[in-house]
Amino acid sequence: MTTSTVTYQGDLRTSAIHLQSNNTIITDAPVDNHGKGEAFSPTDLLATSLASCMLTIIGIKAADMAIDIAGTYAEVNKVMAADPRRVSEIHVVITFNKLLDEKTLKIFYNTAMNCPVAKSLHPDILQNLSFSQANRS
């Protein structure tokens, strides 16, 4: 079954349609690579997919542990390299919606690092994951 269709719109922009939901994602080439930077670049989506996957798989584990992590978010920093141009590092900082003990954080870290996107990325891409916690009681 086909997952999506991607159409080149011109001016270094694509439109991708997720066929099951009919949701659309627009991409633009980044400013540093001849683009307008008006939307996610394909490499931005790669890095963002890692964080999204990590949060999803942590959400599954958290539900199994009866922990509500709604409102937890990730900040993503993608580092590019040259010769060839590629993503060399992805830094993800996940900020939890509440204080969690060290045992739970370790479980969530191991869960995140074993998400399907993390396991699908080339081993030369450095995946740096760190956690932060909201100061809520």
What span, in angstroms and rounded, lies between the C-alpha atoms of 20 and 18? 6
Q: Where are the domains of the chain?
A: 4-33, 42-133
Residue 33: closest CA among 89, 80, 90: 80
What's the fold here for domain 42-133? GMP Synthetase; Chain A, domain 3 (3.30.300)
- 9-54 tens-digit pLDDT: 999 999 999 999 999 999 999 999 999 999 999 999 999 999 999 9
For residue 137, pLDDT beyond 80: no
- 89-135 tens-digit pLDDT: 999 999 999 999 999 999 999 999 999 999 999 999 999 999 999 76
Alpha carbon 63 to its chain centroid, in Å, reads 20
Average pLDDT over residues 54-64: 98
What span, in angstroms and rounded, lies between the C-alpha atoms of 119 and 127? 10
For 15, 21, 48, 66, 78, the CA distances from 26, given in Å and listed in that order, are 5, 15, 14, 36, 19
Structure tokens at 60: 């599954």
* Strand 73-81 relative to strand 86-96, pairing: antiparallel
Give me the pLDDT at residue 136, please: 52
What span, in angstroms and rounded, lies between the C-alpha atoms of 28 and 74? 22
Burial 37-60 (b: 16+ CB within 10 A, else e): eebbbebbbbbbbbbbbbbebbbe
Which uninterrupted H or E stretch holds 49?
helix 42-64
